[in-house]
Every structure is written in C-alpha cells, then in structure tokens.
Amino acid sequence: MLTAALVVVALQQPAPAPAAPAAPPPLPPQVGDTSPFRRLALPTPTLLREGSGRPGPRYWQQRADYTIRASLDTATHTIAGSETIHYVNNSPDTLTYLWLQLDQNIYRASSRGAGVNPTDARFAGRGFEGGYTIQYVRAVQRFGKASGRAPLATSVNGTVMRAELDRPLPPGQAATLELAYSFEVPEHGSDRMGREQFPGGWLYEIAQWYPRLAVYDDVRGWNTEQYLGQGEFYLEYGDFDVAITVPRSFVVAATGTLLNPLEVLTGPQRARLAQAAKSDTTVAVIAKTEAGQAFTRPAGAGPTLTWHYSAKNVRDVAWAAAPNFIWDASGYAGVLIQSLYPPEANAGWTRSTEYARHSIKHYSEKWFRYPYPTAINVAGPVGGMEYPMIVFCGHRAGDRNLFGVTTHELGHQWFPMIVGSNERLYAWMDEGFNSFMNIYSGLAFYHDSVPLGRGPAAGWARFAATGRDQPPILAADRVPPALLGSVEYGKPAAGLYLLRQQLLDDTTRFDAAFREYIRRWAYKHPTPADFFRSMDDALGEDLSWFWRGWFYRTDVVDLALDSVRVRQDSGGPITRIFLASPGGLPMPVDMRITLANGSVENVRLPVEIWLLGNHYLYERKFAADVVKVEIDPGQNFPDVRRENNVWTRS
Ligand SMILES: [Zn+2]
C-alpha cells in the first residue's frame, strides 16, 4: 500500500506545458437503437418459461383443492362457512407461510378500496360496511391414522392475510388448512357480487366469498395484489367440493356438477334437465308460470336444503340463489347450458340460453373445446361478471345488449378461467383477448360481415386521436375508470383484430398461433412475455414493433403522403411517391393509385419499408399519368390523421 502511494505521488509531478494542439474534429454521433423495430426486451428465458413462449420442462404450479360448507341466512344476509384447503407445494421452495385473498375486506370502512373508489363508484361498496370475520385458521396434522389441529398465527393486511405454517412446507409436500368465516353480503358488491330484492324475494349473486389461496409462482413469488375493486382476481387451479345450505324455497345455481339432484330438485325438474341436456333448443326447467311456487321445491319438513356440487380443475367457484328463478336449459356437446332469471328480468332473457349456447359452441369450435360440464347465465344486480362455469349478467339487459354481455362473460371461460393469467396485473390478457373473441362471436350470431363496436381500427383511431390513450400493459387499478373499457378491452381487441385481419397475409396463421397459445397455457399462469413469444414463435414473425407500440406504449399510427412527383429517364416518366410515417407505430401501407386512363391499382407495401427510417420513396413506371393516390382507402388501419392520406393532381 505504502509503495503504491509513493508511485502515485511521483507520477503527479507537473509535466512541461505542451504546445496547443489543433482543434480535433467533432466526435461522430453516438446513438442507441431507438428504432421502433428494435427487439422487445423480455425477461431472460428459463427452463420454466422458454424463449419459444412455451412452459418449459421445469414449469411448476401450485395446487389448491377446496372443500367448502356454507350456509346463507336470508334474514341477516349473512354467509357462514367453513373450508378445508389442501395445498400442494409443487415449487422448489420450502414455504413457511401462505397468503390468502380476503376480498370481502374491501368493504371495511378503512379499506384501501374505499379510499380509491368514490362511494357511488361501480367498483365500490356504495357505503356498505362489512368484511370477513375469521373464526379460526388451523393446520391439520396427521400422525398415522390420527390427526390433530394446530391454530395458526395470522396477520391481515387489507384484503390479504398471511398464515404462519406450524411447520415448514417442503417442496413436493402438502399442507391442509381449515378455516371458518362469515360475512354479510353487500347489496352492491363492487358490481361483482351482491343481492337485490324482487317482489318474490331476495336474489343473491355470491362470489369472491371464501378465503382463497393467493398464487405463488416462479415470476413473483406470492402474488399479493390488494383487491381495490377494478382489478379482478388471480387464483390457483384445483378441485372443489362445495355444499351450500339455503332456505328450502330457494333455487341455487353454482359452479360445478350438482351431486344431489334427488334431494334438491323435483322429479319433473330432473326429467326436464335430462331432456334439455340433449336439446339444441331451450327447454323450460322452471317455467315463468311456475317460478316461486311451492310445488317447484321438493316436499319436506326441514326449513333448508343443501345443494352439493363438485367442480374439477377450476380456479374459483361462485353461485346464485333466489326463491323465484325462471330456469331454462339446453345442451351442446355434453355441456348443460342454463339460464336463471327472475320474472322481472328484461323479456329478452328468454333468449339467454340461446345466446349462451351459441357462445359456448362458437368459442369451442373456433378456439378451444369448452372443458366443463355446464355453463350458466344468471340475471341479477351484477351488470356483468364471470366465474368458472357461471356468469352474472344484468337483469335489465335485453336483445343485443344481453347478447353482448352474455357472449363476453362466457368468453371469459377461456380467458382467464382456462388460460389463467393475472387479472389484477394484466387485465388486457383476459378482457382484451376475450373482447377480441367476442367480435367473431357477434359476427357469427348476427350473420354480420362488419364488426360493431370494438373491432374496427377506425373507431380505435378516433379514440387515440383524443390523446387519452394509455398502455394496456398498465395494471387494471392504474387505469382511470372512465378509460378502462377503451384501454384494457377495446385497444387490445382492436390490436389483435388488426393483427389477424391486416398485418398477417392469412387469418388462418393468426388462428393457429392463438390456438397454440391457448393450448400451451391452458390451466397455467402465462405472463405477457409468454404470450408475445408464443405468438412470434407460432407466426414466424418478430412483432416486437407491434407489441411495443400497441401494448406497452401509446404510439400512434400516422401514414402520410408527403408529395408525388414525376421524373424523366430515358425510358419515359417515372412517378415518385414520397411516403412518411411520422407516428411512433409503423404499419404496412395500402395505396390506391388512380391513373389518367381511369384504371386503378392497389399496392400493399410491407411494414419493413420503415426499417431504415420514417420516410420512404415508392418509385415506378405507370401505364399512364398518376392523377390520385390514397393511403388506406379501406380505413383498415388505425390512422389518427387521415387529412394527409390523399394526393390529387392539381
Ligand atoms: Zn370482462
């Protein structure tokens, strides 16, 4: 150390002053790759999540199986339940604690959701104060054939709860938890669950209604996003055994297969359901003239009935109950399609089962076979919300609105019920993909050729031109509520529609790639990177420029005609069309070129014309003078400034 310091001192002796050098030339420009075509930066691929977008050979996922026993007290609107969770640790990690989702805690007066949402907001509780009461959380310990119970220490953090395990849970082992809980059902449960009083009695839509295991995954560890209202939910897959006790006069609809129809249905109802299961057309199980009448419930002395269900390989269960449901059903390929609605529902609900059957059939045939035994549409206070095998749609909806909300909520059976992405973080991966599928479901049902609403690029461009666009990659709770529909539903749907209809030369290429993504990630937990990679891999394209501009940013499309000139060479006149793409998002260019002799030529230039910059010269000989050039005459691209799309010879 000392020697080195002396050397440094020696080197610091002043040098003789040099002669002043000539001024050096300026340094050349130093730039990074800022092109819209630069590779999209994604997490490094691993053996869990591969560069191809597939789950890798080391992919693992946790599993949570539930046994739930719950009863509904209609005098106090209270649900009291107990549950046993069998949690299998397939991760390579030893876990010492588990996180559970307690969504009902959003209705505590002090909740973060109450702070975020104005009292009357769609995703608020409208002033209702409730939340979970947890009686106990304990671990079941097994000693040979004997078993014991160990109370677990817990701490609640808003809408999540951490439970300290009584012993570390090693990889490959399972833990069994028992919980008992209760809560009062809010009337307006953030437009996801709740209750409404009809002349015939209360109608309940019950969801996010039992403590649920949070997802532990390889990407983030525990996924503990708070339930703030706008972000939906993210859960593990498992099997459910659920028994729901309600007043004898009530009819229940729930996720899963009804295990005890002999106890809770009448003979005629069982016969009608069996007939409906084989029927393409709608069969009344409880007709409007029968709804609410005593003979629609099995005779018996007890004040309650327990409805028992089994659901396999689902990420959640939900249910509805009312004393006066009209009940319709039909069948499709072994799937029992059902609708339950009160007599006061919009008269359009008589077509709900037809809409639901079309939706399940359409999505099954186009994208991925529906894997569950039933699909149920329930009318009630919730405007539109989805759970495995059951959806809630507003009872005031009718006609095309009811078709739209039904085909949307049932489309969620594919995203996120089958393809289990994180809705709280990536709403676009379920709302957007689903809204995209809805376009084609609507076209098929109404035999239309042009999509309504969210499909057309032109509609999207009008919104983008307002400057209010946001990147769909934002977590649901970070998007202003007024923009949620545009940003997380409409924009990703319009983007996939644009990709399928315009950016690829053949729609079947898109369909094969999208099906491959669904097949690869069915019953798994894909991230955005997994989707982008899987699509690029199956399409044989590097769509970095499109994924970045459309999903991560608010880059706009603006294709422009700068000028058209003519130059002479020895072979005659050559027309020079100067094109520009001043927006951040490049696109292929469609041109319609009209000649003086009246003929018209259509030219498609690939997106690669912008690889070297945002100006491009299209130059060639024509059979006659060019008198008019139009960019994107079909309005297929979301161009925010069409004023610069046309040139006419003056
Ligand atoms: Zn939705």
Say how many Å lie between the CA of residue 412 and the centre of ligand 1: 6
DSSP state at residue 324: S
Say how many Å lie between the CA of residue 429 and the centre of ligand 1: 10
Instruction: Determine the pLDDT at residue 13.
Output: 62
Is residue 437 within 8 Å of residue 188, measured between CB atoms?
no
Q: What's the order of all strands across the beta sheet hosting 335-341?
A: 283-286, 326-332, 335-341, 374-380, 390-394, 384-387
Say how many Å lie between the CA of residue 331 and the centre of ligand 1: 24
Average pLDDT of span 41-62: 98
DSSP state at residue 473: T
Instruction: Determine the pLDDT at residue 454.
Output: 45
Say how many Å lie between the CA of residue 411 and the centre of ligand 1: 8
Average pLDDT of span 41-57: 98
Say how many Å lie between the CA of residue 317 and the centre of ligand 1: 17
| Paired strand residues for 301 | none
Is residue 408 within 8 Å of residue 401, measured between CB atoms?
no
Instruction: Give the pTM.
Output: 0.94
**Dihedral angle over CA of 633, 638, 643, 649, nearest 10:** -30
Position 448 confidence tier, pLDDT thresholds 50, 70, 90: confident
Say how many Å lie between the CA of residue 427 and the centre of ligand 1: 9
Instruction: Determine the pLDDT at residue 9.
Output: 47
Is residue 406 within 8 Å of residue 359, measured between CB atoms?
yes
Whether the pLDDT of residue 459 is over 50: the answer is yes
Say how many Å lie between the CA of residue 277 and the centre of ligand 1: 27
Identify the helix (H) or strand (E) that includes residue 268.
helix 267-277
Is residue 242 within 8 Å of residue 420, measured between CB atoms?
no
Whether the pLDDT of residue 280 is over 60: the answer is yes
Cα separation, 407 vs 435, whole angstroms: 9
> Nearest Cα to 494, choosing from 459, 531, 468?
459
Whether the pLDDT of residue 456 is over 80: the answer is no
636: which 2 tokens? Answer: 């297929």
| Paired strand residues for 564 | 577
Instruction: Determine the pLDDT at residue 120.
Output: 85
> Nearest Cα to 64, choosing from 163, 153, 144, 156?
163
- What is the per-residue pLDDT across 216-231, written as a single tens digit (0 to 9) for each? 999 999 999 999 999 9
Q: What are phi and psi of 279, to 5 degrees?
A: -105, 135
- What is the per-residue pLDDT across 384-414, written as a single tens digit (0 to 9) for each? 999 999 999 999 999 999 999 999 999 999 9
Whether the pLDDT of residue 598 is over 60: the answer is yes
Is residue 397 within 8 Å of residue 453, measured between CB atoms?
no
Say how many Å lie between the CA of residue 423 and the centre of ligand 1: 10
- What is the per-residue pLDDT across 281-334, written as a single tens digit (0 to 9) for each? 999 999 999 999 999 999 998 999 999 999 999 999 999 999 999 999 999 999
Q: Is 618 helix (H, G, I), strand (E, B) or coil?
A: strand
Instruction: Determine the pLDDT at residue 81.
Output: 98
Amino acid type, 524: K
Say how many Å lie between the CA of residue 22 and the centre of ligand 1: 69
Q: What angle do CA 555, 557, 559 make, to 5 degrees?
A: 145
Cα separation, 88 vs 238, whole angstroms: 10
> Nearest Cα to 456, choosing from 498, 403, 485, 488?
498
> Nearest Cα to 158, choosing from 541, 510, 477?
477
Instruction: Determine the pLDDT at residue 12.
Output: 60
Average pLDDT of span 191-200: 97
- What is the per-residue pLDDT across 137-180, written as a single tens digit (0 to 9) for each? 999 998 888 999 999 999 999 999 999 999 999 999 999 999 99
* Residue with the two structure tokens 């400034």: 641
How high does pLDDT run on average in the chain? 95
503: which 2 tokens? Answer: 């950016």
Whether the pLDDT of residue 376 is over 80: the answer is yes
The strand pair at 626-631 and 646-648 is best described as: antiparallel
Which residue ranges form the domains of the chain, and what is each CATH number?
Answer: 57-236 (2.60.40), 438-552 (no CATH), 560-648 (2.60.40.10)
Say how many Å lie between the CA of residue 193 and the centre of ligand 1: 14
Q: Is 82 helix (H, G, I), strand (E, B) or coil?
A: strand
* pLDDT > 90 fraction of the chain, expressed in percent and rounded: 90
Instruction: Determine the pLDDT at residue 510.
Output: 98
- What is the per-residue pLDDT across 53-87, written as a single tens digit (0 to 9) for each? 999 999 999 999 999 999 999 999 999 999 999 99
Identify the helix (H) or strand (E) that includes residue 6.
helix 2-11
Peptide bond before 416: cis, by omega within 30 degrees of 0?
Answer: yes
461: which 2 tokens? Answer: 């461009």
> Nearest Cα to 497, choosing from 487, 507, 505?
507
> Nearest Cα to 139, choosing from 148, 131, 130?
148
Position 32 confidence tier, pLDDT thresholds 50, 70, 90: very high
The strand pair at 216-217 and 146-151 is best described as: unpaired
Say how many Å lie between the CA of residue 431 and the centre of ligand 1: 5
DSSP state at residue 552: I
> Nearest Cα to 354, choosing from 334, 320, 329, 374?
329
Where helices occur in 331-456 by DSSP H, the ranges are 352-366, 399-411, 431-446
Position 452 confidence tier, pLDDT thresholds 50, 70, 90: low
- Contacts of 23 by beta carbon, 8 Å cutoff, 6+ apart: none
Say how many Å lie between the CA of residue 405 and the centre of ligand 1: 9
221: which 2 tokens? Answer: 């560890």
> Nearest Cα to 605, choosing from 584, 625, 624, 619?
619
